[in-house]
Amino acid sequence: MRISTPLTGTLIAAAALLASPGPAAAAPAPTDLKPVAALSAERLATADLVAAAKWGTDSPIDDPAREQQVLDSVAAQAQQAGADPDEVRRVFRDQIEANKTVQRGLYLRWTAHPDQAPTTKPDLGVVRQKINRINTDLVTALADSTPLRTRPTCEPELALAVVEVHHERHPDLLHTGALVRSLASVCR
């Protein structure tokens, strides 16, 4: 799926800067959208565990029933938190698609380099509990940041938050691109 929005362009530019070699610099000043970006990165990190759990099994990467459960759950949580359930659904649809992008990328890597494939399988039930906890925290962060996400400065502030998270986590290109994808619907 191709997404072309000003935010995507801003985030891609931020990702390109992050991926380019350059002199070491101090971490940027924090933004109020950092919790959204950090939780998105944390949620995205679970894709590695999900992929490892499903690798070599009949479990497909796409799991429409599980995806619908997640979307229904976060919409209900959004309603309770005073956030727009449809907006939260859109953000989580992006989160899910980004997670699947990482899983597919890992499958390609493991197919090309079998020596890098996982040798143990995490318990998918335990991983999903972690994802559910992150989902709850992310719904709260989205609800708390609603005023920021409606401002005209949301996109550059979100891009700065992505830079901050990247500086702290040092994700590879697969995860950096997926992080950008996961945040496509955050700003209104």
**Model-level pTM?**
0.84
Q: How far apart are CA 94 and CA 187, in angstroms?
A: 12
Tokens of 31: 């933004």
Reported for 4-9, long-range contacts at CB under 8 A and 24+ positions apart, including other chains, are 5/184, 6/155, 7/154, 7/155, 7/158, 7/183, 7/184, 7/186, 7/187, 8/180, 8/184
| Mean pLDDT (whole number) for 155-178 | 96
The whole-number pLDDT of residue 28 equals 46
Answer whether residue 85 is part of any domain.
yes
Query: What are the start-end ranges of the H helices in the chain?
Result: 6-19, 34-54, 64-81, 85-112, 124-144, 146-149, 154-169, 173-182
Answer whether residue 22 is part of any domain.
no
> For the domain that residue 107 is a member of, what is the CATH number?
1.20.59.10
The whole-number pLDDT of residue 21 equals 47
Give residue 142's domain range: 6-11+30-182
Is residue 10 very low, low, confident or very high in pLDDT (cuts 50, 70, 90)? low
pLDDT in tens, 113-145: 999 999 999 999 999 999 999 999 999 999 999
Is residue 11 very low, low, confident or very high in pLDDT (cuts 50, 70, 90)? low
pLDDT beyond 60 at 20: no
Answer whether residue 35 is part of any domain.
yes
> How many domains does the chain contain in total?
1
Answer whether residue 118 is part of any domain.
yes
Answer whether residue 18 is part of any domain.
no
Mean pLDDT, all residues of the chain: 89
